[in-house]
Amino acid sequence: MKIALFGASGGTGTLLTNRCFASGHQVSALLRSPDIFPLREKVDVIYGDACDPHAVLETVRGADVVLSALGARSLGKEDVLERGVPNIVAAMQQTGVHRIIALGSAGALPDSLKKQPFYRRWIVQKILYNTLLRWPVASQIAQYATLSATDLDWTIVMPPMLRNTTARGRYRIDGEALPRNGSSISREDVADFMMQQLTDSQWIRKGVYISL
């Protein structure tokens, strides 16, 4: 396949890039700083960022599938998803690309914590989602709202805290809410699951929670 990859230079994006190459796929990647991207010689580089609709269109053009690992890189208000995802959607609609697999967050939907014990729901919602992670969660809510309102074949993979640890190769998935007591997962496991969605139709037009 030819894959348009957004967020390639991030922690999960780099893992996705490597997995695309290992599977024999061609990758076009939108990069703000291609000179420091370690895999720049292997990808079709488009210079720019997701807030530039022309650069996004050039990245998507000719692709079979879009993979997005875009997300906030700080706890502040960044608006990357609020501005970038509508550009990706517009580019896909313009070029006729239908499939997108996006990295989301367990905090994207209001009922994401319904399977957690009460004390955990209170701590995560009141202390994390409403305060410390206020802006990143707001961006994830916006991404979900944007993609779910389209007629694209979207899948949003929604993990809790991402860790830079070795993949375990086993995890829980749930289409309704974050699995009970799910608090973290390896980026490698998430990247592997996202790659599986390239040929799996089970979660098309759905969000799916994933956790250890």
Q: How far apart are the first and last CA of the chain?
A: 30
> What are the structural domains, with CATH classification, of the chain?
2-211 (3.40.50.720)
Q: State the greatest distance between any 2 C-alpha atoms of the chain, in Å, as a whole number.
A: 49
Q: Point out the least confidently predicted range of 19-23, 65-69, 71-75, 96-100.
A: 71-75
Q: What is the pTM of this model?
A: 0.95
pLDDT recorded at residue 67: 98
pLDDT single digits (tens) 115-158? 999 999 999 999 889 898 999 999 999 999 999 999 999 999 99
Mean pLDDT of 41-51: 94
Residue 208 backbone phi and psi in degrees, to 5: -135, 130
For the chain, what is the mean pLDDT?
95
pLDDT single digits (tens) 51-90? 999 999 999 999 999 999 999 878 788 899 999 999 999 9
- 22 and 35 Cβ atoms separated by less than 8 Å: no
Instruction: Look at strands 172-174 and 184-186 and give their pairing.
Output: unpaired
DSSP reduced 3-state for 210? strand
